[in-house]
Structure 1
């Protein structure tokens, strides 16, 4: 759902930029409460993973594909405020290094793909856990949040386009088209989110932000066959090092971006399809960085397409890890300095 340049007039672009800037500022401040010495490196890995999986467009209907947005996934793993920062880092890397998503539309993209998805997905996730407050329900709650977050972002796009789009639209028809295709994409997003959360939950439940406070039951059987249930915080896992998880996660991201991405669907994504069918792209402009070395997820001068896509994917993961890691480490350091000053 990367909005290109030329879709929105200057007023909406500037307003969305202001919303995005304010939202990121709020998240930078509040992410201090979510990030610690364990979760700061985890957040950098989450950003890189979102970048990698966004390269994997999957078919959802005839001639249409979709890809992960990642707001709910990041919110469940590292917290809603940090999630906005994760997706914003991905969008910045994509826009400036890969010519994916317009630069004048950067505020729109951060608002829709980072703020809306993280906020809506986290709200639905927490609502489900309020009804079923068990750790075993975390993947199901993550699935529900992800499914709802994608069409919510699509309908928010429709509202913005109705207010300040550069082409006349039948808002009802566009809302139906955007909502319909993005419900299908949301199901795919939900499956990816639930699978990823389940995997981390099985290995390091202490690192899943959305599972905090949901203790796993410890079942004790007595000689008489009776069963007692007690809560455990799994202290051994809490003391376990991060290196195995970070190394494994980084390897998965590199394989997805560097190899699997070549086999992604080449069909237009949901926004591209609806824009072409409904004429939303009448004023679309070429990306100003379209001639950059990694534009369109290739490598300038590399003639082998498979190699070019793989190298671009690996470079993207590396850039995202470096950028995200620097930001989250800085936020954590500032938080630690504040804690020491209070002490």
Structure 2
């Protein structure tokens, strides 16, 4: 759902840019508690993993494809505020290095994919966790539903923005139906990927999952007279050293970006498909960095497309994990200074 330059007029792009900047600035101030619990390394790895998996488009039928957006997954792993920073990092790297999404549309993409998917996904997850049994295993179904719902909601938000400042006049009812319909199918793929990834992490290291760290089972205490009482512990699951787990995660991320991405579907994604069908695809303009050495996820000068694609994916992972780690560190420092000043 990467929006290119040209789909929206200047006032709409400026407005979404301000929304995105405000969301990132606010998240930088609020992410410290989450980063203290999960660690900055996990934030960097989550950013790199989302970047890698977004390279893998999966077919959804009728000549179109989709890919993971990742907002709900990131929020479950590292918390909602850190997830906004993670998603913004991914979109920044994609826009600046790979010409994936327009530069003037960067604020729009962060708003749709880096803010709405995180907020909706995490809100649904938290709401369902209140209704489901209070145990770590409940995080997977709750987040899966959040991931499923977040994608068509983001598609509906795109329709709302298009109604305000779309470049080409088209019937909004048709646009809403097409966007939500196709992105419901994309949301199913999002839900499957989210469930698979989160199940693996919860099964091995639940202490690294932000949404699971406060879901300890209730303690049943029995006094000397045999009377029992239930106590709900407030403290989070203590985190254990994560060096080996992070190493496995990094290796998996490189495999996804450097190998699995080579088998991605070549069909256009949901937004491009709808744009072609409804006649506004022609409004898209080339990104200002369309001539980048890494544009379109290939390294210029390398004739072998598979080697070029694999190398581009690996470079993207390295840049994203580094930038994600630096932003997480920055969030920690800003919050620590604010606490000290207070």
Q: Tell me the TM-score range normalised by the shorter chain.
A: over 0.9
- Stretch deviating more after TM superposition (43-52 or 27-36): 27-36
Confirm or deny that 1:170 pairs with 2:176.
no
Aligned-partner Cα distance in 2 for 1:24–1:119: 13
Shift of 1:33: 2.2
Question: CA-to-partner distance for each residue in 1:134-171, whole Å, 9 max, x for gaps?
Answer: 22211000110000000000000011011101001111
Q: Normalized against structure 1, the TM-score is what?
A: 0.92
Residue 208 of structure 1 is matched in structure 2 by 209
Residue 161 of structure 1 is matched in structure 2 by 162
Whether the aligned pair in 2 keeps the contact of 1:166 and 1:282 (CA below 8 Å) is: no
Residue 125 of structure 2 is matched in structure 1 by 125
Whether the aligned pair in 2 keeps the contact of 1:125 and 1:144 (CA below 8 Å) is: yes
Aligned-partner Cα distance in 2 for 1:216–1:293: 52
> Which runs of at least 4 in structure 1 moved beyond 2 Å after TM superposition?
216-219, 228-235, 237-240, 333-342
Q: Normalized against structure 2, the TM-score is what?
A: 0.93
Q: Kindly tell me: are residues 329 and 37 of structure 1, through their superposed partners in 2, closer, same or farther at Cα, counting changes over 3 Å? A: farther
Whether the aligned pair in 2 keeps the contact of 1:293 and 1:300 (CA below 8 Å) is: yes
Shift of 1:232: 8.3
Report the 3-state secondary structure (helix = DSSP H, G, I; strand = E; otherwise coil) of the residue aligned with 1:36.
Answer: helix
Residue 45 of structure 2 is matched in structure 1 by 45
Q: CA RMSD in A?
A: 2.2
- Stretch deviating more after TM superposition (248-257 or 190-199): 190-199
Aligned-partner Cα distance in 2 for 1:25–1:204: 30
Q: Kindly tell me: are residues 234 and 338 of structure 1, through their superposed partners in 2, closer, same or farther at Cα, counting changes over 3 Å? A: closer
Q: Kindly tell me: are residues 266 and 289 of structure 1, through their superposed partners in 2, closer, same or farther at Cα, counting changes over 3 Å? A: same
Question: CA-to-partner distance for each residue in 1:61-94, whole Å, 9 max, x for gaps?
Answer: 1201000011100001111111111000000000
Q: Kindly tell me: are residues 233 and 253 of structure 1, through their superposed partners in 2, closer, same or farther at Cα, counting changes over 3 Å? A: farther
Q: What does 1:68-217 correspond to in 2, within 5 Å?
A: 68-134=68-134, 135-216=136-217
Q: How many residues matched?
A: 335
Aligned-partner Cα distance in 2 for 1:311–1:93: 15
Residue 36 of structure 2 is matched in structure 1 by 36
Q: Kindly tell me: are residues 38 and 113 of structure 1, through their superposed partners in 2, closer, same or farther at Cα, counting changes over 3 Å? A: closer
Q: Kindly tell me: are residues 340 and 29 of structure 1, through their superposed partners in 2, closer, same or farther at Cα, counting changes over 3 Å? A: closer
Unaligned runs of 5+ in 1: 220-227
Aligned-partner Cα distance in 1 for 2:95–2:284: 15
Q: Kindly tell me: are residues 178 and 336 of structure 1, through their superposed partners in 2, closer, same or farther at Cα, counting changes over 3 Å? A: same
Residue 225 of structure 1 is matched in structure 2 by none
Aligned-partner Cα distance in 1 for 2:16–2:341: 36
Report the 3-state secondary structure (helix = DSSP H, G, I; strand = E; otherwise coil) of the residue aligned with 2:267.
Answer: coil
Question: CA-to-partner distance for each residue in 1:257-298, whole Å, 9 max, x for gaps?
Answer: 001100000000000000000012232111111111100000
Question: CA-to-partner distance for each residue in 1:207-252, whole Å, 9 max, x for gaps?
Answer: 2111132114789xxxxxxxx99988999x8353111111111101
Aligned-partner Cα distance in 1 for 2:300–2:60: 31
Shift of 1:339: 4.7
Aligned-partner Cα distance in 2 for 1:170–1:296: 31
